[in-house]
């Protein structure tokens, strides 16, 4: 039982950290979130196009809305 409890403690810690991360993402300023969405669009567009669904990410490069920082945010797909 001790090993199982140890695993549960570790899993609980991972889930708590994931939840903290999601809460932190929710608190980002809106423009940061938009940058993250654009990064998600780029990732998803490649996959969706391969499946025959034509989508494209927002083309907002001229407005400085694409940021290398966004790719580090790792937002979740809903």
Partner 1 sequence: MKRALKVLNEMERDGVFARYAVGGAMAAIFYVEPFLTFDLDVFVVLPQTSGGLLTLAPLYDALRFRGYSEQENECIMIEGVPVQFLPAYNSLIEEALKEAQAIMYEDVPARVLRAEHLVAISLQTGRTKDRERVRILREQAKLDQNFLADVLKRHQLEDKWKLWTE
What is the nearest approach in angstroms of partner 1 to the Cβ of residue 17?
A: 14
Q: Does residue 2 bind partner 1 (CB under 8 A)?
A: no
Q: What is the 3-state secondary structure (H, E, C) of 19-57?
A: HHHHHHHHCCCHHHHHHHHHHHHHHHHHHHHHCCCCCCC
Closer Cβ to partner 1, 51 or 78, answer by number: 78
Sign of the torsion angle spanned by Cα atoms 20, 26, 29, 34:
positive
Q: Which is nearer to partner 1, 4 or 64 (CB)?
A: 64
Among 1, 2, 5, 30, binds partner 1 (CB under 8 A): 30
């Amino acid at each position: 039982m001790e090993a199982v409890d140890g695993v549960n403690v570790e899993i609980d810690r991972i889930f708590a950290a994931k939840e903290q991360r999601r809460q932190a993402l929710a608190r980002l300023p809106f423009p940061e979130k938009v940058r993250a969405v654009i990064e998600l669009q780029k990732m998803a567009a490649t996959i969706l196009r391969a499946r025959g669904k034509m989508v494209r990410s927002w083309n907002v490069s001229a407005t400085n809305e694409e940021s290398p920082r966004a790719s580090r945010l790792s937002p979740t797909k809903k």
